[in-house]
Amino acid sequence: MIGITVDPCPMCELFAPIIETADSCWWFLGGYGIQLPAPPNAEDPSVVLKHMESQSREYANWLNDDFGYRVGKPGWFSRYANYADTNWAMYFGCNNATEIPTQTLDWLENFTSNGTDWFGDAAQWGLPTDVAFVCRNIDDALWHVFTRDPQHHMAVQQHLTLQSITFRPFVETAG
């Protein structure tokens, strides 16, 4: 895993050059949630409620919570990553579009349930090989983004440079 530290920005912006790859992943969401956007220009509470109920039903189509933790299905990332919790949250993208990678997801649930390493290098965690991405947000202040594929890493860095989004190589800290 190769890491960078990035100033706050939407997750889909971080992954713009590799969005199709991120969208093909199963995303371990753990217990983190999302904040669905409010309807534009709606002042009538019944309109707002109807809109939020509709969005919640649609969101449920892209979520699997059969295992006691949340998993975003392939297609979840491009639809909902920008609305994901960004306050002390961590997400893992798993490459395996053919079937849900239950063994890896169970491993991630166990790994994150035993305390979260908020400042360590994901390359040292011994992650299963089908974990392609780790996205960790620290206190809404910065992202740590780790990619397994060096080409994905370079594509993200080039994109961030072109968009004038500040980033630097990840350096492990004591917190």
Confidence of residue 15 (pLDDT cuts 50, 70, 90): very high
Tell me if 4 sits within 8 A of 153, measured CB to CB: yes
- Name residue 84's beta-bridge partners: 34
Confidence of residue 91 (pLDDT cuts 50, 70, 90): very high
pLDDT of residue 45 exceeding 60 = yes
**Once rounded to an integer, what is the mean pLDDT over residues 126-149?**
93
What's residue 97's pLDDT? 66
What's residue 117's pLDDT? 80
Q: Is 17 helix (H, G, I), strand (E, B) or coil?
A: helix
Q: Nearest CA to 134 among 92, 89, 88?
A: 92
Burial of 15 (0-12, 13-18, 19+ CB in 10 A): buried
Confidence of residue 156 (pLDDT cuts 50, 70, 90): very high
Give the integer Cα–Cα distance in Å for 75 and 21. Answer: 10
Confidence of residue 120 (pLDDT cuts 50, 70, 90): confident
Burial of 124 (0-12, 13-18, 19+ CB in 10 A): exposed
Which pTM was predicted?
A: 0.91
DSSP state of 83: G
Q: How many CB atoms lie within 10 A of CB 57?
A: 9
Cβ contacts of residue 102 below 8 Å, gap of 6+? 67
